[in-house]
Structure 1
Amino acid sequence: MALRIHGIPEEYVRWIKMLYSRPTSVVRCAAGTSKPFPVQVGVHQGSALSPLLFILCVDAITRDIQKPHPWCLLYADDVMLAAETREELQEEVQLWKERLQRYGLRLNIAKTEYMECGAKIEDGTICVDGNNLKKVECFKYLGSRITSTGDVLPDAYGRANSAWMKWRTTTGILCDKKMPIRLKSKVYRTVVRPVALYGTECWAATKVTKQVLHTMEMRMLRWSMGLTLKDKVSNEMVRSALGVAPIIDKVREARLRWFGHVLRREGESVAKTALTLEVKGVRPRGRPKTRWLDCVKTDMAEVQLTTRDANNRNKWKKRCSTADPATTWDKR
């Protein structure tokens, strides 16, 4: 049904039905392989087709209860629901729970979290079938940490920790004195740094968040060179030896690159909606917090770009890119 609703050709539907006709599976462990047993529910484990089939099924059975973004966002088996009041969200969660249960799916109450944003946050939470959802001030969604205050510092610490975990898996190369500097530089730029930069294009970065990434990077680079602060070697000399551009410049590059993509998009995409979204209410008293568009305006002024330049892909890419000096080594 779900395949036909999405306009999948009937021939493909028949082939997929053949794949799921009387499927069996086995369990492999240290003791050996079990006897085949029938699989009566779910999709094939390890199949490249399974994620697509699951997405199509969930979209088909919930299409009539899905609200337009940003009130409802779907990504694989992750569902984000938003509402202006707790009562509305209570009804939405209960409706989704009943709809999924009708088609053999189950809402995992233990993994479902609830967060409330605003100037005045009242006590209480959402209840689903007598079970209270866990109320949090920060939760992880698609690898990024979302806070009720909009602060990106927890996400910055999370990115730094993830980068350190990846760095530790490559210490056999990065901390080996016999390895050439060029190889260490390339491993850091292609394996470690992308982990730290994941999702940073959406940050409204402050001095504190920038300092977190800067400190993380310089410690990694110094240890890769076998140096400490006692050696009195400047950061510029360390970067020059490894041919690595400052990670803060790479954050600016990612932010401008993403901003250009959003400006060029047509229609009502999620990114376009978020860019033009108007939040009700007034900003609190005191020094206003840095907004994402404030960071973008500062970045555009530094590289001399305007919103009109977004349609010129070559100019936009050339202006916002920050090349690593080591890229010239890689071409030799």
Structure 2
Amino acid sequence: MALGKYEGGIDIGGTKISNMRYADDLVLLAGTKEELQRVLRMMEEQRTDGKMERAFQDQISSGQKAFGRLRRIWKDKNISIKLKIRLLRAIVIPSVIYGVECWVLKKREEKKLLAFEMKCLRRICGVRWEDRITNERVREIAGAQDTILIRVEDIQRR
């Protein structure tokens, strides 16, 4: 994300520091609450240039790869659905929602997260789209009443 236009931050030893970066994490620094809100609005405006959408799609791709690496487990009839769901929640979902604390989710992203989750649940339960079984019924079969969005909201609330 480009913060080139942002001139705020805090003064440390005569140097203005506006952010700290490590790997793919970003910490924004601001002297006041208003200044922080201003930089967050700048970040939101940058969403239209596709950078945030690409980052979001990268997280979905990460989850797809994690799910794919476990395909033998999903297909194994000797492993219970309950255990498969626990693996989904422990391995796959965290790879998708990594960094969710910084996300600003719109309806479009929420739909993509739910679609990804349902695709995983259907695969685990052996339910094909053509079977015309509702998402609610698939959740019942999987014993997965809480959605990925509930987990995201819990993390963002902390």
Residue from 256, 279, 290 that aligns with 2:157:
256
Aligned partner (choices 64, 67, 70) of residue 16 of structure 2: 67
Q: Does 1:247 align with 2:148?
A: yes
**What SS does the corresponding residue of 2:20 show, helix, strand or coil?**
strand
Q: Judging changes above 3 Å, is the alpha-carbon distance between structure 1 residues 212 and 79 closer, same or farther for their aligned structure 2 residues?
A: closer
CA distance in 1, matches of 2:72, 2:147: 24
- 1:1-332 to 2 correspondences below 5 Å: 66-68=15-17, 70=18, 72-75=19-22, 149-151=46-48, 152-244=52-144, 245-257=146-158
Q: Match of 1:198, SS? A: coil
**Aligned CA distance change for structure 1 residues 173 and 79 (closer, same or farther; 3 Å):** closer
- Partners of 1:74 and 1:171 lie apart in 2 by 35
TM-score, structure 1 as length reference = 0.35
What TM-score does the superposition give when structure 2 sets the normalisation length? 0.70
Q: Quote the sequence identity (%).
A: 27
CA offset digits 1:24-69 (Å, max 9, x no partner): xxxxxxxxxxxxxxxxxxxxxxxxxxxxxxxxxxxxxxx867533x
Q: What SS does the aligned partner of 1:67 have?
A: strand
| Alpha-carbon shift at residue 74 of structure 1 (Å) | 4.5
Matched residue SS, 2:77? coil
Change beyond 3 A, Cα 1:155–1:188: same
Q: Higher relative contact order at CA 8 Å, sep ≥6: structure 1 or structure 2?
A: 2
Distance 1:179 1:242 in 2: 13
Q: Rg bigger for which structure?
A: 1
Cα deviation digits, residues 204-236 of structure 1 (max 9, x gap):
111101111111111111011111111111111
Letter in 1 for 2:59: R
Deviation at 1:253, TM superposition (A): 1.2
- Secondary structure of the structure 2 residue equivalent to 1:177: coil
Shift in alpha-carbon separation, 1:167–1:148, aligned structure 2, 3 A: same
Is the CA contact (8 Å cut-off) linking 1:156 and 1:212 kept in structure 2? no
Structure with more helix by fraction: 2
User: CA-atom RMSD, angstroms?
Assistant: 2.7
